[in-house]
Amino acid sequence: MEPGKVKIYTCGPTVYDFPHIGNLRAYIFSDTLRRMFEFNSYQVSHVINITDVGHLTSNADSGEDKMELASRKQHQSAWDIARFYTEIFKNNLIEMNIASPTVWSPATDHIQDQIDLIKKIEAAGCAYTTSDGVYFDTSKFDSYGYLARLDIDGMEPGSRVEFNGEKRNPTDFALWKFSIKQGDRQMEWQSPWGLGFPGWHIECSAMAMKYLGKTIDVHTGGIDHIPVHHTNEIAQSESVTGQKFVNYWLHVAFLTVESQKMSKSAGTFITLKEVIDRHYDPLAFRYMALTSHYRTGLNFTWEGLRGAQKALVSLREKVAQYQYEEVAPDGESLSEFRGRINNDLNTPQALAFLFEVVRSTLPDTVKRATMLEFDKVLGLKLDKIPAESEAPQDVVDLLVQRQQFRREKNWQESDRIRREIVAKGYDVEDTPEGSRVIKKGL
Ligand SMILES: [Zn+2]
Query: What per-residue confidence (pLDDT) applies to 56?
Result: 87
What value does the mean pLDDT of the chain take?
91
Contact 250, 33 (CB under 8 A): yes
**Cα 129 to middle of ligand 1, angstroms:** 23
Q: Strand, helix or coil at 341?
A: helix
Helix (H) or strand (E) holding 217: strand 216-222
Residues forming a β-bridge with 257: 260, 300
* Distance in angstroms (rounded) separating the CA atoms of residues 369 and 371: 6
Among 8-12, 141-145, 204-208, 288-292, the range scoring the smallest mean pLDDT is: 141-145
Segment 148-176 mean pLDDT: 75
What does R_g of the chain's alpha carbons equal in angstroms?
A: 25
Segment 190-212 mean pLDDT: 96
**Cα 89 to middle of ligand 1, angstroms:** 16
Q: Name the nearest CA neighbour of 41 among 338, 391, 418.
A: 338
Residue range 66-103, pLDDT digits in tens: 888 888 898 999 899 999 999 999 999 999 999 999 99
Residue 204 has pLDDT above 60, yes or no: yes
**Cα 12 to middle of ligand 1, angstroms:** 7
Which residues touch 391 (CB under 8 Å, ≥6 apart)?
399, 426, 437, 439
Ligand 1 being an ion, which residues bring their Cβ within 5 A of it?
11, 204
**Cα 197 to middle of ligand 1, angstroms:** 16
Tell me how far CA of residue 350 lies from CA of 160, 288, 343, 374, in angstroms.
Answer: 39, 13, 10, 9
Residue range 34-65, pLDDT digits in tens: 999 999 999 999 999 999 988 888 777 778 88
Residue 241 CA to its chain's centroid (Å): 29
* Distance in angstroms (rounded) separating the CA atoms of residues 93 and 95: 5
**Cα 236 to middle of ligand 1, angstroms:** 12
- DSSP characters for 149-188? T--STTPPTTSSSPPPTT-SSTT-EEEEEE-SSTTSSSS-
Which residues touch 42 (CB under 8 Å, ≥6 apart)?
4, 5, 6
**Cα 175 to middle of ligand 1, angstroms:** 14
Residue 135 has pLDDT above 80, yes or no: yes
Q: Strand, helix or coil at 258?
A: coil
* Distance in angstroms (rounded) separating the CA atoms of residues 106 and 71: 18
Residue 379 CA to its chain's centroid (Å): 14
How deeply is 148 buried, as exposed, middle or buried, from its count of CB atoms within 10 A (0-12, 13-18, 19+)?
middle
Query: What per-residue confidence (pLDDT) applies to 279?
Result: 79
User: Which is more confident, 183 or 71?
Assistant: 71
Angle at CA of residue 402, ends 401 and 405, nearest 5°: 95
Residue 157 has pLDDT above 70, yes or no: no
pLDDT band, residue 388 (cuts 50/70/90): very low
Q: Name the nearest CA neighbour of 372 among 422, 430, 322.
A: 322
Query: What per-residue confidence (pLDDT) applies to 378?
Result: 98
Residue 199 has pLDDT above 60, yes or no: yes
Query: What per-residue confidence (pLDDT) applies to 67?
Result: 87
Contact 250, 8 (CB under 8 A): no
**Cα 202 to middle of ligand 1, angstroms:** 8
- Amino acid letter, 329: P
Residue range 409-430, pLDDT digits in tens: 999 999 999 999 999 888 888 7
Query: What per-residue confidence (pLDDT) applies to 382?
Result: 96
Segment 374-392 mean pLDDT: 83
Query: What per-residue confidence (pLDDT) applies to 154?
Result: 64
Query: What per-residue confidence (pLDDT) applies to 438?
Result: 76
Query: What per-residue confidence (pLDDT) applies to 277?
Result: 83
**Cα 362 to middle of ligand 1, angstroms:** 45
Residue range 310-349, pLDDT digits in tens: 999 999 999 988 988 899 999 999 999 999 999 999 999 9
Query: What per-residue confidence (pLDDT) applies to 158?
Result: 47
pLDDT band, residue 155 (cuts 50/70/90): low
**Cα 67 to middle of ligand 1, angstroms:** 16
Contact 105, 207 (CB under 8 A): yes
* Distance in angstroms (rounded) separating the CA atoms of residues 276 and 95: 10
Segment 99-114 mean pLDDT: 96
Which residues touch 302 (CB under 8 Å, ≥6 apart)?
278
Residue 161 has pLDDT above 80, yes or no: no
Query: What per-residue confidence (pLDDT) applies to 110?
Result: 96
The winner for highest mean pLDDT among 142-156, 157-171, 238-252, 413-427 is: 238-252
Segment 354-370 mean pLDDT: 97
pLDDT band, residue 153 (cuts 50/70/90): low
